[in-house]
Amino acid sequence: MSMLGHYVLLFEKLNLVETTPLAKHVGGDGSAHPLESELDICPPHWPTHPILPHWDYDVKKLVPEKLRGCIHVGAWDCAEMGCYVPMFGENVVWVEANKNTYKHLTKPRADAYNHKSYNHALGDIEGKKVSLNILTNADSSSLREVVGTSPYHAVEMKLKTLDNLIQEEELDMDNINFLNIDAEGYEYEVINGMRKNIEKIDYLFFEASLIERHKGAKNFKQMHELVTGLGFKLVKISDSFNTLKWGDVLYKRA
């Protein structure tokens, strides 16, 4: 689910949940997407939907007040659904910039689980005009040019800050304390656009890089300085930093 492994197992290492394996996710049934196969197991008290993944683990919250809800920036196909529903139930907010992706993947999957979802490009300057660069041969997009990538086309958008989205949609930040950002090089700006509400976040997960993968993006050192200055401490960094020079990082409030 991430370069740091399964999200629920990450939180289990923080002693916040206890997990029980569920799904046959090795691919023994021969399916191309084993987590979506008919042989996977889903607890009866969780809703199912034909276009949604099933579940790897049943989750028991050991400290419920420390895992209340989640905002996920860069939703795409809601691949983390099988992690978030066991931990947060309906208290999940998905944000996706690509209009086509949002319409056909993000929104229907979020709606099936009564999650909130929004089609916005998030950043640090409300109303700023930006270009969303959408790869031609893949369902991937970024507000920055990707270094050494295949052709893309640009769609003009206006930025929304997370602070303004929270205010306009009246999101209950007393019940949201996990922020996950997969903004393809725009993570720094997304966090800067949440200065008014960042103190509500206890756990922060994002992708970072030691090399320039997106033109003009802040590197890991700059990201680390930003979030430690906002009161977070590094908990875990993926091994991929040693080989690929980029990967995922998890912080918690100090």
Q: Over the stretch 225-243, which tens digit does the pLDDT of each residue have?
A: 999 999 999 999 999 999 9
pLDDT above 50 for 43: no
Of 104 and 56, the structure prediction assigns the larger pLDDT to: 104
CA gap 204, 101 in Å, rounded: 24
Model-level pTM? 0.89
> Would you say residue 28 lies in a domain?
yes
> Would you say residue 195 lies in a domain?
yes
pLDDT given at position 33: 43
pLDDT above 50 for 187: yes
> Would you say residue 135 lies in a domain?
no
pLDDT given at position 162: 98
Number of alpha carbons in the 13 Å side-chain half-sphere of residue 210: 11
pLDDT above 70 for 11: yes
> Would you say residue 91 lies in a domain?
yes
pLDDT given at position 145: 86
pLDDT given at position 105: 86
> Would you say residue 73 lies in a domain?
yes
- The CATH number for 63's domain is 3.40.50.150
Confidence of residue 186 (pLDDT cuts 50, 70, 90): very high
> Would you say residue 153 lies in a domain?
no
> Mean pLDDT, to the nearest integer, of 42-57?
53
Total number of domains constituting the chain: 1
Mean pLDDT, the chain, whole residue set? 87
pLDDT given at position 74: 96
Residue 31's domain comprises 7-121+161-253
> Would you say residue 243 lies in a domain?
yes
pLDDT above 50 for 50: no
pLDDT given at position 28: 36
Nearest Cα neighbor of 157 from 71, 72, 96 is 96
> Would you say residue 205 lies in a domain?
yes
When mean pLDDT is compared over 4-8, 193-197, 210-214, the highest value belongs to: 193-197
